[in-house]
Amino acid sequence: MTLATKSMLAVAAVALAGVAVLSYTEARGVSGGTDVAADGTPINACALLSDREVAATVGAEVQPGERHDQGDVGGQGEYALNGTYSSTCVWRFVDTEEDEAGKMLDQMQGIERPLGGRRFAILNAMVWPAGSGEAAKFLQSFHDAFKSGEIPSDPVPVKVGDEGLWWGDGVAARKGDKSFGISVFLQNGDKPAQRTMEESLARRIAKRL
């Protein structure tokens, strides 16, 4: 039976930043075990990157990562398989005077940006049921989303983990039964700069999965 489900980044971004990414399909009733992180949960997104690594990559001071796990999302509506765990971490940039001025200008012009115009990096990591193959299907969902017009950019491959891609607003990758998405929002429209940062962070993450 096929269920319409949301991708890890769609959920993380909608919950934390108001950014819709895409829809994920082909979730089937497969169950299995997951690896457990040192803190007792299957995965901890904030443990996959240090605050210092994020700051060095984006070239700005960042606040400590904020963990916002959705936890075991299996069987929640039409979202994911039983045994699927989702963990999210957000690093907010420390605001500069230029940032504050930009947010004030946005307010005056009625412009709404993710997280109120603050610059930030967001990582969502998921553990799928062992042997289910859902991590690979998650990557395919980005290509499907482009074909259906849900995202504007045709994903391009990047060398990260077992398989990776850049979809226009972030890098998604998989390694075994784990997958993740990392996005950097500079709030200035400089996607080439964001992509460089996202790929650099993604390679660090993949080594730790």
Q: Beta strand pairing status for 85-92 and 120-127? A: antiparallel
CA gyration radius for the chain?
17
Q: What is the 3-state secondary structure (H, E, C) of 12-32?
A: HHHHHCCCCCCEEEEECCCCC
Per residue of the chain (209 residues), what is the pLDDT tens digit? 122 223 333 433 333 333 223 223 223 223 334 566 777 788 999 999 999 999 999 999 999 999 998 888 776 655 567 788 999 999 999 976 665 556 665 566 666 666 777 889 999 999 999 998 889 988 888 888 889 888 888 899 999 999 999 999 999 999 999 999 999 999 888 999 999 999 999 999 999 99
